[in-house]
């Protein structure tokens, strides 16, 4: 490596790529990438955006495919309603999700950042193209930024920022539809604004937040704010797949000269991989926290390699061990094993979601109450019953004592166990059992739970009798 490259290579960790020596922000004017990987990412990203915008309109049965209403503690996943008492499923899902992220990162590095992170997808495939439309290529943008505030600059800048804000407002609405559901959002839109001032204020705040992030903060989200990028250094190892520069093949880098017999490495030091980088780093310095695995440098370098008749892949998806040994990165046993574990986790969550009942019944003895002796020769215990109906339709619930002959149930206040859709009822009932069947102080009582005359599960509780 040349001396100046050695200095650069040893200095690159002194500060974040987007900050200069004085600590000022260095605005990134990334050149638009082009090539196989960018095309693939464009398809994936527009598909991703389409799915993101369409999901709130999809319903399974009466419920949204996905709704996370934190404010009212109501959640719908794959059309199944979840309530706060289903939190164990969320807790398990969260643990599974964290394990998923860790295992995925160990095997595939920051693949998710480049291909699925909303920040990257929105920035690179919505906001950046709008910027190119209003302000031209990165070189023209730089010129515009440095120029006087004339009519042309005012027009271009204001046009861009107005569109940025409108898109941010649309994104905020899309996110809101995931929280309150599309029906409620459409209802709100159709009603006078004065009736929804709180909601409208939060919408404006979130729109402003998105606008500031995509118009000004940009790469700082990935390089400084996002914890995932910072954590990756403790999750990856020498076998992790990442976007890497093949230093063995590329070094010593050397400018290409006509009619010169090349004895150096394949890197012609054209800096194309650096000028396309949206976080402004030089991948030739090795794996860096700022890299969002966007593949732009792969495309840029491949184009250069093509032009100078050298093999493509100087920058590519590779592991550190692959670069060291020269052995090609394959879908190895470790990746296969991790993929199996990840699939099992997804199946567990899927099972928890789909095997969950539409109705939950909880029964417990009323505290401080023992038993009552009745004139008809029975003993009765008082119970507290909570029934959650997670469907939208009314549910008729029946409780049937199963392990005592002639046992009966008597409700207090109501004998009708009809629970309205998406409601919970809490009420008390007596269970009466003929005295001669109660053989001890504490007796097991099994109750069959029927929903619309169909048995859905069995509950066990205790029935208290006198000391014998
Ligand atoms: S180093 Fe390459 S992959 Fe990483 S952010 Fe920059 S351009 Fe994207
Ligand atoms: S694009 Fe390729 S050849 Fe050009 S500087 Fe980067 S690694 Fe070297």
Radius of gyration of the chain (CA): 32
Residue nearest to atom 7 of ligand 2 (CA): 267
- Residue 413 has what pLDDT? 58
- Around Cβ 193, how many Cβ atoms within 10 Å? 10
Residue nearest to atom 2 of ligand 2 (CA): 301
pLDDT in tens, the chain (468 residues): 555 555 555 666 677 777 888 888 889 998 999 999 999 999 999 999 999 999 999 998 778 889 888 877 778 888 877 777 777 777 877 877 888 888 888 888 889 999 999 999 999 999 999 999 999 999 999 999 999 999 999 999 999 999 999 999 999 999 999 998 898 888 888 888 888 888 888 889 999 999 999 999 999 999 889 988 888 778 888 888 899 999 999 999 988 887 777 888 999 999 999 999 999 999 999 888 889 999 999 999 999 999 999 999 999 999 998 898 877 766 777 778 877 887 887 888 788 777 777 788 889 998 888 899 999 999 999 999 998 887 778 888 888 899 998 888 887 655 567 888 878 888 889 999 999 999 889 999 999 998 888 888 899 999 999 876
- Residue 81 has what pLDDT? 78
Rounded CA gap, 436 and 36, in Å?
82
Coil, helix or strand at residue 33: coil
Cα of 276 vs centre of ligand 2, distance in Å, is 11
> What kind and span of H or E run contains 430?
strand 424-434
Return the beta strands (E) in 246-356 as ranges.
315-318
Q: Which ligand has an atom closest to residue 5 CA?
A: 2
Short-list 169, 167, 173, CA closest to 133: 167
- Residue 91 has what pLDDT? 80
Question: Can you read off the two tokens belonging to residue 316?
Answer: 């590519």
Question: Among all chains, which residue has been given the structure tokens 């503690």?
Answer: 73
Cα of 127 vs centre of ligand 2, distance in Å, is 27
Residue nearest to atom 2 of ligand 1 (CA): 297
Q: Which residues contact 262 (CB under 8 A, 6 or more apart)?
A: 254, 256
- CATH 2.60.40.10 boundaries in the chain: 359-464
Rounded CA gap, 104 and 340, in Å?
11
- Please give the C-alpha separations between residue 220 and each of 105, 147, 209, 278, 279, in angstroms, as whole numbers: 21, 25, 14, 11, 8
- Classify domain 359-464 at the CATH topology level: Immunoglobulin-like (2.60.40)
Cα of 334 vs centre of ligand 1, distance in Å, is 25
Considering the entire predicted model, what is its pTM?
A: 0.77
Ligand 2 pocket by C-beta < 6 Å: which residues?
A: 245, 250, 253, 267-273, 284, 300-301, 304, 314-315
Which own/partner pairs from 188-193 qualify as long-range (CB within 8 Å, at least 24 positions apart)? none
Return the beta strands (E) in 112-266 as ranges.
242-245
Residue nearest to atom 3 of ligand 1 (CA): 293
Rounded CA gap, 77 and 68, in Å?
8
Q: Give me the DSSP letters along 35-47.
A: SHHHHHHHHHHHH
Cα of 277 vs centre of ligand 2, distance in Å, is 12
Ligand 1 pocket by C-beta < 6 Å: which residues?
A: 243, 276-279, 281, 283, 291-297
Cα of 91 vs centre of ligand 2, distance in Å, is 46
- Around Cβ 128, how many Cβ atoms within 10 Å? 17
Q: HEC string of 77-121?
A: ECCEEECHHHHHHHHHHHHHHHHHHHHHHHHHCCHHHHHCCHHHH
Residue nearest to atom 7 of ligand 1 (CA): 277
Cα of 389 vs centre of ligand 1, distance in Å, is 50
Q: Which ligand has an atom closest to residue 272 CA?
A: 2
CA-CA-CA-CA torsion for 399, 405, 406, 407, nearest 10 degrees? -40
Contact call for residues 162 and 170 (beta carbons, < 8 A)? no
Which atom of ligand 2 approaches the CA of 315 most closely? 7
């Amino acid at each position: 490596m040349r001396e100046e490259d050695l200095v650069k290579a040893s200095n690159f960790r002194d500060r974040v790529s987007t900050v200069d020596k004085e600590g000022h922000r260095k605005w990134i004017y990334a050149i638009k990438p082009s090539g196989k990987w960018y095309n693939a990412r464009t398809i994936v990203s527009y598909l991703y955006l389409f799915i993101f915008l369409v999901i709130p309109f999809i319903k399974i049965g009466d419920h949204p495919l996905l709704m996370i209403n934190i404010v009212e503690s109501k959640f719908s996943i794959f059309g199944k309603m979840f309530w706060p008492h289903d939190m164990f499923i969320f807790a398990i899902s969260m643990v599974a999700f964290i394990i998923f992220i860790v295992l995925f990162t160990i095997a595939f590095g920051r693949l998710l950042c480049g291909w699925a992170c909303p920040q990257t997808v929105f920035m690179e495939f919505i906001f950046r193209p709008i910027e190119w439309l209003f302000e031209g290529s990165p070189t023209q943008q730089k010129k515009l930024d440095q120029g006087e505030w004339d009519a042309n600059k005012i027009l271009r800048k204001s046009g861009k920022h107005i569109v940025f804000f409108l898109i941010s407002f649309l994104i905020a609405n899309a996110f809101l539809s995931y929280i309150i559901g599309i029906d409620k959002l459409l209802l709100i839109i159709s009603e006078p604004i004065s009736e929804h001032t709180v909601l409208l204020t939060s919408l404006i705040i979130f729109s402003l937040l998105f606008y500031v992030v995509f118009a000004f903060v940009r790469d700082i989200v990935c390089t400084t704010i996002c914890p995932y990028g910072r954590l990756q250094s403790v999750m990856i190892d020498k076998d992790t797949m990442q976007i890497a520069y093949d230093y063995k093949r590329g070094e010593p880098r050397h400018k290409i000269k006509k009619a010169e017999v090349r004895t150096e490495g394949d890197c012609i030091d054209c800096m194309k991989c650096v000028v396309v980088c949206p976080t402004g780093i030089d991948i030739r310095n090795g794996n860096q926290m700022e890299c969002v695995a966007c593949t732009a440098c792969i495309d840029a370098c491949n184009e250069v390699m093509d032009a100078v008749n050298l093999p493509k892949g100087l920058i590519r998806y590779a592991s550190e061990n692959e670069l060291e040994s020269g052995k090609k990165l394959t879908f190895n046993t470790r990746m296969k094993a991790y993929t199996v574990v990840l699939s099992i986790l997804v199946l567990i969550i899927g099972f928890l979601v789909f095997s969950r009942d539409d109705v939950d019944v909880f029964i417990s003895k009323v505290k401080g109450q023992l038993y009552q002796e009745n004139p008809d020769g029975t003993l009765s215990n008082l119970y507290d019953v909570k029934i959650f109906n997670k469907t939208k339709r009314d549910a008729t619930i029946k409780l049937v004592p199963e392990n005592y002959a002639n046992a009966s149930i008597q409700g207090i206040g109501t004998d009708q166990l009809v629970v309205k859709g998406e409601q919970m009822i809490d009420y008390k009932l007596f269970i009466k059992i003929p005295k001669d069947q109660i053989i001890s102080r504490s007796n097991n009582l099994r109750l069959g739970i029927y929903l619309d005359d169909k048995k859905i599960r069995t509950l066990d509780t205790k029935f208290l009798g006198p000391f014998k």
